[in-house]
């Protein structure tokens, strides 16, 4: 550097080195040049990956050398700037969320105090900032300290420590700034404070890898987004909506903007504004089509609206999109080090942005088709889903709790139900066989429900054990329900095929298995925990009794049929199908008076009970719906007519 001479004459011999000779290359200048060179390398290349990590290491090393000397005020602006850049690279190169305390910031502040002859080793981060900003009045240090403050705010924001952020901003802002922040009332206070914070002007001699202005904008967006999510979680939807809208107007990447719109959509939906929700979700997809959670939310909104066509379209699209592009991990932006992505991480956001698994979407499609009565489509989707399962359970089905999938046997039963409805009885039987064979070993010989439970509750003091016992019992009951439902469906399928004997066998198997449950007490005051399972089992029993009864009728074994129908009426007094069948059997057996009496009793009590049942009854499992439909008595009108005729005739016979 000192000698730049051309190939001219031989340079005259230099004077012998003296102790104090001219300007020298001081450390400060060397570091400043190094820092500038590093920033330049970054701004020209904006590299990612390995090169970025290398730059991070070089910044770290530079900081290390600066920290290798005692802190001195003239060197501190440079040191703090290098710290700022180095921290940004730490964020930018790691490609993950900002986590934990920024030790670097703490060290930097301690160095500032060291240079000013103070110390604060034992202070917490908040107090340390307070001490530094109040006690250090050196003019040159203000701008670098403020920039560092912005970074600290980012760190705290990432940790959702909004109070700390507000406190820091209070320290960073002048009274005038705060006055401006207070002027705009009604706005969010933290946002107003961030906006009022005056960014220190960038100095040419201390270049930054990302300007403080950028940082401020990112802080604004992140703060609005984060608070919006918090309000959303707390249920303050209007506040959440305005905060999220604020965030959507801020500086952020495509990715984040789509996420914000998705959250806006969810918020609007929870407010009961489905059309607004749809608009927001559409915007999310327009901004970034990779934001597939938005699409699944769209499907959910259409589901709420009852627009099945649109919902199915959305689900189909979602399935296709999932198949084409497996949702890649958020790629790092090549241009920025600090981004909104690394600051906003809440459980709510993760759950809102949960990527659906293709198999889940497939199941949803199948289920919705079945519920809507699109049997052919439902069958296709169910078969697709089952083949997906065969490819490998672990890869195909998300095993976390938030999945939309029910238990696999239920899916099988639903598939069987769909096949049955589509007229593919043999296939339905095969699918049911699968369920039955798989559950054989899982069912205890005897399952006592009520009394045992009460006993255990009194004898075992530990609630965990009781809980464990309960859940085990519940699991057994589920298995039993699946197995018996399998038999039930097989029974109905055989009935449809005209194989009454086979059907009777299946129904009998179903009823036999159901005998394993021993319900004690009246059956009404069941333990709350097992209530739904018991209800399902009772329904299955009812349906299979009716089924077997009808098959006995077909076979002409009227007595047995009568017995079954009577049983079923015992289980569910006033069940219209069972009652109608009972009347029919009695009629057939020529016990016309009894039939008429039953009919009268039933037709009088039915309207009241009809009104009651849907109110108290929980929704039936989807796989039982088809059986329920099949159990409906088909000839109610003709039967009613003939009975009425009979009653009329009887009335005429008996003169009043």
Partner 1 sequence: MLLSEQDQVLSYNGEVLVFQLSKPKHAEEAEDKAMNLYVKRMAFNRDTKLFDQKSSGVFSMGASHSKIEIICCSCTTDSRTGIILPCILMKKRKRNSVKYFLLLLHSSNQFEPSFFFKLDYELKEDIRLFAGPSLLWRHANKLFYISSNTRVVQSAPVHLSSVVWTGEIVGEGTVVLGIRTAFLPETEGSDGFSVSDRAIWGSEFFGYTIQSQKFLTGTCFMPHAYSRVVSSVYVCRSERLRKQLRISLVAITHKNQLIWFQNGTPKGVCELPYEKPRLVKPALTSSSDLLFAVSFASGNSCVIQRRDSLQVASKWQKVKCVLVDDFIGSGSEQLLLLFKDDSNADILSTFKITDLGEVNYSSDINYKYDVPAAEGLQENGLFTVRALETRLQAGWTSVRELQQHLRLQKRVILESCRALRDLVEGRTHILPNSKEVKCKRWARSLLNSAKPFVEGAAINHLPLLLEGLVSLWDDVENPPDSLSKETSSASEVPEHFTEELWQRVVGDSLVVGVKLTESFCLSLSDVSLSLVMDQDFSSVSPIIKCQSKIIKLNKAFSALAVSSSQIEPPPKKMKLDLDRKNDLQKEFLKSSSRIQLDGAKTVTAVTSLSPLLAFHRVCCVVLLHARKQNNQNDSLQQSKKITVLCGKILLSLEDISNGRYSIKMLRDNSYCIGSMEDILAVLAVSVRFSFQIVSCDCTLTPVSSWLMGEMECTPFKECQDNIFCHKAGNVHGTIFNWTLKNPFEGVLTIFCRNLTVLFQCLHSLTRVLPPSCSVKLLRSGSRGVLTEHLALALEKEMLTLKNSLFLKETKAENSLTWRNESGKKINNAPLASLLDTEEGVQQFRKKLQNEREESVRSMNQTMNGALYQKIALKIAEAQLSSDMIVWRLAKS
Residues of this chain that bind partner 1 (CB under 8 A): 3, 7, 11, 13-14, 16-21, 23-30, 32, 43, 46, 57, 61, 64-65, 67-70, 72, 74-75, 78, 205, 211, 213-214, 217, 241-242, 245, 249-254, 257, 268, 273, 275-276, 279, 286-287, 305, 310, 313, 333-336
Q: CA–CA separation, 593 vs 167, rounded Å?
A: 87
Q: CA–CA separation, 65 vs 269, rounded Å?
A: 55
In the complex with partner 1, the residue whose CB is nearer, 149 or 250, is: 250
The rounded radius of gyration (Å) of the Cα atoms in the chain is: 37
CB of 72 to partner 1, least distance (A): 5
CB of 607 to partner 1, least distance (A): 37
CB of 242 to partner 1, least distance (A): 7
Helices (H), 288-407: 292-305, 308-324, 347-352, 358-372, 375-391, 393-396
CB of 26 to partner 1, least distance (A): 4
**Buried/exposed 336-359: b ≥16 CB within 10 Å, e otherwise:** bbbbbbbbbbeeebeebbbebbbb
In the complex with partner 1, the residue whose CB is nearer, 313 or 538, is: 313
In the complex with partner 1, the residue whose CB is nearer, 6 or 615, is: 6
CB of 335 to partner 1, least distance (A): 4
CB of 287 to partner 1, least distance (A): 7
CB of 232 to partner 1, least distance (A): 14
In the complex with partner 1, the residue whose CB is nearer, 252 or 431, is: 252
CB of 253 to partner 1, least distance (A): 5
In the complex with partner 1, the residue whose CB is nearer, 138 or 571, is: 138
Determine contact, residues 92/49, Cβ cutoff 8 Å. Answer: no
Determine contact, residues 414/382, Cβ cutoff 8 Å. Answer: yes
Question: In the numeric block, which tokens belong to residue 236?
Answer: 């303050």
CB of 273 to partner 1, least distance (A): 5
Question: In the numeric block, which tokens belong to residue 275?
Answer: 């059309």
In the complex with partner 1, the residue whose CB is nearer, 15 or 524, is: 15
10 Å CB burial of residue 44 (0-12, 13-18, 19+) is: exposed
In the complex with partner 1, the residue whose CB is nearer, 183 or 649, is: 183
In the complex with partner 1, the residue whose CB is nearer, 119 or 649, is: 119
Give the containing element (helix H, strand E) for 448: strand 447-448
Task: Name every residue whose Cβ is closer than 8 Å to that of residue 272 and which is 6 or more positions away in sequence.
Answer: none
Question: In the numeric block, which tokens belong to residue 443?
Answer: 């069912």
Question: In the numeric block, which tokens belong to residue 469?
Answer: 């016992």
DSSP 345-366: --HHHHHHTPPPPHHHHHHHHH
What values do phi and psi take at 21, rounded to 5?
-125, 120
Q: CA–CA separation, 335 vs 45, rounded Å?
A: 9
Report the alpha-carbon angle 338-343-346, nearest 5: 160
In the complex with partner 1, the residue whose CB is nearer, 179 or 556, is: 179
Q: CA–CA separation, 206 vs 39, rounded Å?
A: 9
CB of 548 to partner 1, least distance (A): 48
In the complex with partner 1, the residue whose CB is nearer, 257 or 503, is: 257
CB of 369 to partner 1, least distance (A): 19
CB of 40 to partner 1, least distance (A): 14
Is the alpha carbon torsion for 258, 220, 331, 232 positive or negative?
A: negative
Angle of helix 162-172 versus helix 189-196 axis, rounded to 10: 40
Q: CA–CA separation, 593 vs 650, rounded Å?
A: 9
In the complex with partner 1, the residue whose CB is nearer, 3 or 324, is: 3
Determine contact, residues 565/550, Cβ cutoff 8 Å. Answer: no
CB of 32 to partner 1, least distance (A): 5
In the complex with partner 1, the residue whose CB is nearer, 46 or 588, is: 46
Determine contact, residues 510/544, Cβ cutoff 8 Å. Answer: yes
CB of 166 to partner 1, least distance (A): 22
Question: In the numeric block, which tokens belong to residue 363?
Answer: 């199941």
Q: CA–CA separation, 1 vs 23, rounded Å?
A: 12
In the complex with partner 1, the residue whose CB is nearer, 29 or 182, is: 29
* Dihedral angle over CA of 58, 60, 66, 67, nearest 10: -160
Determine contact, residues 464/453, Cβ cutoff 8 Å. Answer: no
Hunting for tokens 């327009």 — which residue is that?
Answer: 286
The closest alpha carbon to 162, from 102, 201, 219, belongs to 219
Determine contact, residues 304/274, Cβ cutoff 8 Å. Answer: yes
In the complex with partner 1, the residue whose CB is nearer, 7 or 100, is: 7
């Amino acid at each position: 550097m000192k000698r730049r001479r051309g190939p001219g004459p031989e340079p005259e011999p230099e004077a012998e080195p003296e102790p104090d000779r001219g300007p020298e290359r001081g450390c400060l200048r060397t570091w400043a040049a190094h820092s500038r060179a590093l920033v330049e390398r970054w701004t020209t290349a904006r590299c990612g990956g390995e090169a970025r990590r290398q730059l991070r290491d070089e910044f770290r090393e530079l900081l290390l050398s600066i920290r290798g000397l005692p802190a001195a005020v003239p060197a501190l602006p440079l040191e703090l700037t290098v710290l700022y850049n180095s921290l940004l690279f730490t964020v930018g190169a790691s490609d993950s969320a900002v986590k934990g305390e920024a030790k670097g910031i703490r060290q930097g502040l301690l160095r500032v105090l060291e240079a000013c002859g103070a110390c604060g080793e034992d202070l917490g981060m908040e107090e340390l900032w307070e001490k530094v900003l109040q006690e250090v009045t050196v003019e040159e240090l203000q701008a670098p300290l403020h920039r560092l403050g912005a970074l600290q705010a980012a760190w705290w924001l990432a940790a959702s420590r909004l109070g700390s952020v507000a406190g820091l901003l209070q320290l960073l802002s002048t009274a005038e700034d705060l006055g401006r922040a207070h002027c705009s009332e009604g706005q969010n206070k933290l946002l107003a404070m961030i906006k009022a914070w005056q960014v220190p002007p960038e100095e040419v001699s201390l270049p930054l890898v990302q300007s403080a202005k950028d940082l401020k904008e990112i802080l604004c967006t992140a703060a609005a987004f984060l608070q919006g999510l918090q309000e959303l979680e707390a249920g303050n939807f209007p506040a959440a909506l305005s905060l999220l809208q604020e965030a959507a107007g801020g500086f952020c990447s495509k990715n984040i903007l789509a996420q914000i719109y998705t959250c806006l959509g969810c918020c609007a939906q929870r407010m009961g504004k489905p059309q607004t929700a749809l608009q927001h979700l559409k915007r999310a997809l327009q901004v970034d089509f990779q934001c597939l959670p938005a699409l699944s939310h769209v499907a959910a909104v259409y589901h709420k609206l009852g627009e099945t066509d649109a919902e199915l379209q959305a689900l189909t699209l979602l399935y296709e999109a999932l198949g084409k592009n497996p949702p890649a991990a958020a790629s790092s932006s090549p241009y920025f080090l600090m981004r909104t992505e690394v600051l906003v991480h809440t459980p709510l956001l993760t759950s809102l942005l949960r990527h659906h698994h293709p198999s889940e979407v497939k199941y949803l499609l199948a289920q919705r088709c079945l519920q809507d009565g699109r049997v052919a489509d439902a069958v296709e989707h169910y078969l697709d889903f089952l083949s997906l399962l065969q490819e490998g359970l672990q890869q195909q089905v998300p095993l976390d709790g938030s999945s939309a999938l029910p238990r696999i046997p239920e899916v099988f039963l639903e598939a069987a139900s769909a096949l049955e409805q589509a007229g593919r009885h043999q296939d339905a039987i095969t699918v049911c066989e699968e369920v039955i064979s798989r559950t054989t070993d899982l069912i205890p010989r005897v399952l006592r429900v009520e009394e045992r439970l009460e006993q255990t509750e009194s004898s075992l003091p530990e609630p965990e054990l009781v809980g464990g016992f309960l859940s085990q019992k519940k699991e057994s009951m589920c298995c039993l329900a699946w197995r018996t439902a399998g038999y039930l469906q097989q029974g109905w399928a055989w009935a449809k095929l005209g194989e009454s004997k086979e059907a009777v066998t299946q129904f009998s198997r179903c009823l036999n298995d159901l005998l394993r449950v021993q319900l004690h007490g009246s059956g009404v005051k069941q333990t709350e925990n097992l209530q739904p399972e018991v209800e399902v089992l009772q329904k299955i029993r009812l349906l299979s009794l009716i089924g077997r009864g009808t098959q006995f009728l077909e076979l002409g074994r009227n007595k047995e049929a009568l017995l079954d129908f009577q049983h079923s009426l015992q289980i569910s007094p006033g069940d219209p199908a069972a009652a109608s069948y009972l009347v029919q059997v009695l009629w057939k057996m020529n016990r016309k008076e009894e039939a008429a009496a039953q009919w009268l009793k039933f037709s009088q009590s039915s309207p009241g009970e009809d009104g009651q049942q849907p109110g108290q009854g929980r929704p039936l499992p989807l796989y039982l719906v088809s059986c329920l439909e099949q159990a409906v008595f088909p000839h109610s009108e003709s039967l009613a007519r003939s009975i009425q005729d009979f009653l009329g005739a009887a009335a005429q016979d008996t003169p009043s």
